[in-house]
Structures are given as structure tokens and as C-alpha cells.
Homo-oligomer: A and B are copies of this chain.
């Protein structure tokens, strides 16, 4: 099988290194060798790992060449990559991509073109690096109805939240972000990761496969971690939780919900134990139950490993047809707006340090039908106190009304609310 690789960055280097290192294993398992016939990139960095591979500077040329069976798209972005992948598929080449943004934005069109030309468009590497979640959803869990997916699906945000929690009051968001950038775990412009859009791309793809619904990036509620403070971490810890940035997709007969936001997860749960840049995807399916896949979500080795796994499926003649959901455009179930979703909550209310303050907060919450799981009060500076509560799951608009009421009271100096997610409460 003759492949052409577009892009010469970290993942491309990882792919070529693996193909060199593992050629023995792969030829034992399958007699059709994988041969890199060309590497295309705007700049030729003359890296030793690419030695011996013919180099060209026009990525679009690879989509046209007759000596290439499979194009590996590793240039990223959604403009040139869309043009490139469209051309390759239309020319009868299968495509392997690690580009989650491309699929989240243009997946329906691309999978449709792949089907028309009877070629494959594979993308294990596009979601959570080395974790084989796409193959699991497409092949292993095929006998199941997936009810929910919840995961730590962005390594940058998990690294930042882990460090903030470890550093206590010294762990301000800006300082830890700078540390992550210094270590190469965050981009110079970190908006895409810390703002949640990267996680939303991955969630859109997983939810489409899991629920057999169209790709619906726009239907995802997206909230980043920029506003998380060291006080948030301190209170979470006191109440027995850790703060994680989650991608959550749930489905029932009434609809689907997709959301990306920071949330408190109970300490002792598996999601709470996921540290640093590690990713984790929890799938709840019937009749399988709960299954968790954990591993490296990025990097040359893990992401390259997933690209090679797709290439090997193609070489073995075992690449699946595009799942119908990914090329569909008509939803069968409506996406819920965030106001209609149900979550537990950590709520903090700043009040004067006077008797009766805590009971006023509690009685307002009770008035709105909110049920209190935990309540704690702590004095702060200047004669003030913070009342912190963990609330049982409640519809979001109900919580928002209660917060509005609290904020309108003369005794309330401010409120803060962060969602709670407990995978044991799903399903």
C-alpha cells in the first residue's frame, strides 16, 4: 500500500518513525507492506527521520498522484485541509487524518464524498491521541446502545487544572498557563484548548458515532477554564471533589445533550484520578455498562500510533465503511439547550458573617426546590463569610433563577456556581 503524507510536524515524524520501527511486526501480521512514497510540506526541514523519503513542497499534488493509494492528512486547519482531503477522496484515495477540527466542521460533506467514491476516511488519531476510542465506538461497542460519554478530552486543560489544584493559593490560572506554555503543553495562543473548542471538536465526533446523530458542533455548549480560580479548587477540595474540564454527551429518548465545561468530580472516582496531560473517556452503554479508556491524548508516539493503526486497517483490507451517522444531516433527536440540562452544583454565596445568613441562603434554595447535599460556612476577611453548598442534580434554569434571587438580596455580596458531574448518577 503506497501512502503519501501531507505535513511534516510532530505527528508526521511519529508516523514515519513507527513505520520504520515496526515494519517487521506489520509484515508478519499482513503481507501488504506500507510504503511512504512521498512527503509533502511547505517547508523541508531535512529531518533525519524523513531520510530517503521523496519530498515535495506542494501538498495538493499528493491528492492527484497516481502512485499514491492513501493520503495521510497531517497539515491541520480547516481550509487547505478541506480542499486537500476533498480532492484526494474524489480521486479515489482513502484518507487517514488526525484533524478533529476538519471533521467537526466538514465531516458530513467529506464522509459523503468518501461513500460516493467507495473509499475510506479514517480518523482514530483525531480524537484523544493514542486512546482507541473510535474503534471501540465503531466496532467493539456495536452491540450496544450508548447512553453517555464523559471524559477528560483535552490534555492542556487537565494539566493546568492539575497544577492549580496542587499549588493551592499559589496556583493562579495565568501563572500555571505560563508554566504549561513553557513546557510545551499549551500553545502560544492557548484559546482553542483553554476555551474548550478543541474538546468540543472531539465531543462532536464521539457523540455522532455514539448516538447515531449528525455531527452538530454548533449544538454543543462550550465553556473554558479561564475563570477557574484557586478559591474554586480550595473549596472543591474541602467538599471532597476535584475540578476537571469535561466533555459530556448524554442521550435519551427525549433528546441529546452535549456540553464542554469545568465540573467538580468526586474524589475517589476514576475521573478524579486522571492527572496532568492524560486523557480519559468514560462510556456508559447498554448492556456493556461503564467502560473507561485512559491514556496519552497527544504527542508524536500516541497520535502516530493511532494513524498507523488506521493505515494497518486499510492495508489489511479491514477499514470500515463511513458510519451513516457521520454523513447524515438530519437529527432524529433534538439537542437540549444548556438551560434544560440537569447537573449537580457547587454554589458559594458571600454573606455578612452574621447569624441567620446561612439559613437565609438555605431557605431561598429550598424555595426554588433545590436540595442540599452538603453545606459549609467559612469566615473570610472584613466581617464576611462564604456559605458553600453542594446541590443535588437540578435543571439548570431552576438553579439560575435561585441564583438571581440570591444576588438580588441586600445580604448577598456575590455568588459563584460550578457544575458537579458524577458518572455514577448517569443512566
Contact = CB atoms under 8 A, between A and B. Distances in A.
B318 A289 contact: no
Interface stretch (A93-101, A135-143, A254-262, A372-380): A135-143
Interface string A97-136: 0000000000000000000000000001000001110011
Interface string A67-102: 000000000000000000000000000000000000
A139 B295 contact: no
Interface stretch (A15-23, A37-45, A358-366): A15-23
Contacts of A25: 142, 145, 212
Given A22-B143, A268-B273, A313-B139, A289 B302 contact: yes
A251 to B, nearest CB: 13
A324 to B, nearest CB: 6
Interface in A267-290: 268-270, 273, 285-290
A278 to B, nearest CB: 9
Interface string A179-204: 00000000000000000000000000
A contacts with B: majority SS: mixed
Nearest to A22: B143
Contact of A14 (B26, B287, B308): B287
Interface of A: 14, 17-19, 21-22, 25-26, 28-30, 124, 130-132, 135-136, 139-145, 212, 268-270, 273, 285-296, 299-302, 304-306, 308-309, 312-313, 316, 318, 320-321, 323-324
A22 B146 CA distance: 11
Contact of A291 (B14, B124, B294, B318): B294
A25 B294 CA distance: 27
Contacts of A144: 18, 22, 305
Contact of A287 (B26, B142, B289, B302): B302
Contacts of A132: 132, 135-136, 139-141
Contacts of A295: 288-292
B316 A301 contact: no
B143 A291 contact: no
Contacts of A19: 143
Contacts of A269: 273
